[in-house]
């Protein structure tokens, strides 16, 4: 198990069979104060060789926040930190695909590029081109 991101002691850990993500976080010293645990499925079982990514909260700045009533994101949606709602707001991404992105991120770890979305069922070449303009890893 490889635990990275907003944890006190990132690194490789051995866990017992049947362990969950919450167990991995405890072994890594727990989350930091900046951890965004709402993006981590603490109940997910852990398979050998997986990576758990604990993202940091993204501060909302006065200039970076979208205007009230605006449905367009203020900047690119960062795939490794985006909430379900943020993913659902992307063009052509509905609630089902937003959940698939969250599940993919939990199972495979951080996105290294927007092209990694190609591994998610329902996102084809045309949709990928649309997302390149509004999303970032």
What are 65-124's pLDDT values in tens digits?
443 444 444 568 888 888 888 888 888 888 898 899 998 888 888 888 888 898 888 888
Answer whether residue 72 is part of any domain: no
Q: What is the pTM of this model?
A: 0.48
The domain spanning residue 88 has which CATH number? 1.10.150.320
Answer whether residue 70 is part of any domain: no
How many structural domains does the chain have?
Answer: 2
CA separation, residue 5 to residues 2, 22, 37, 84, 128 (Å) = 10, 14, 11, 19, 26
Domain encompassing residue 86: 77-136
What are 40-76's pLDDT values in tens digits?
889 888 888 888 888 888 765 444 444 344 444 456 8
Q: SS in 3 state form for 87-120?
A: HHCCCCCCHHHHHHHHHHHHHHCCCCCHHHHHHC
Q: Is 9 in the same domain as 43? A: yes
Answer whether residue 63 is part of any domain: no
Please say if the pLDDT value at position 26 is more than 90: yes
Answer whether residue 88 is part of any domain: yes
Please say if the pLDDT value at position 22 is more than 50: yes
């Amino acid at each position: 198990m490889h635990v990275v991101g907003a944890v006190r002691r990132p690194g490789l850990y051995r866990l017992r069979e049947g362990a969950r993500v919450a167990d991995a976080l405890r072994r890594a010293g727990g989350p930091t104060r900046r951890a965004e645990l709402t993006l981590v499925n603490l109940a997910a079982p852990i398979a050998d060789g997986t990576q758990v990514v604990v993202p940091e909260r993204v501060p909302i700045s006065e200039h970076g926040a979208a205007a009230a009533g605006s449905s367009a994101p203020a900047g690119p949606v960062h795939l490794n930190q985006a909430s379900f709602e943020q993913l659902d707001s992307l063009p052509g991404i509905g609630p089902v695909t937003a959940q698939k992105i969250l599940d993919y991120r939990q199972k495979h770890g951080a996105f290294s590029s927007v092209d990694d979305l190609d591994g998610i069922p329902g996102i084809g070449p045309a949709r990928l081109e649309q997302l390149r303009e509004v999303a970032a890893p």
